[in-house]
Amino acid sequence: MPDWVLARHREIGECIRLARTEAKMSQVELGERVGRDHKTIHRYETAQRVLDLPLIANALGKRPSELID
C-alpha cells in the first residue's frame, strides 16, 4: 500500500477518534452501536483495519464526509 494511502487512513482514524471523544463515547460504546468490539474500533482509529465509514459516521451522528475532511 502506498505511504499516502496509509497516511490518509491514519487521518481518518484520528477524525473518528476525535468525533468519538467529542460524543463522550468510549471505544466499547461505539463498538456496541456498530456491532463491533472495542479492539476493532481501536484498529479503525489507528489505521490497522479498513473501516466501514458510513456505519461509523452514522453511529457518531456525523456524515461520512465530516470524518474525511
> Against a cut of 0.85, is the pTM above it?
no
Please give the average per-residue pLDDT across 9-26, as a whole number. 95
* Confidence (pLDDT) at 49: 84
* Confidence (pLDDT) at 1: 65
Please name which of 6, 7, 2, 16 lies closest in space to residue 58, comparing C-alpha atoms.
16
Rg (the chain; Cα; Å): 11
- Domain architecture of the chain: domains with CATH: 3-68 (1.10.260.40)
Average pLDDT, the chain: 91
The percent of residues in the chain predicted with pLDDT above 70, rounded, is: 97
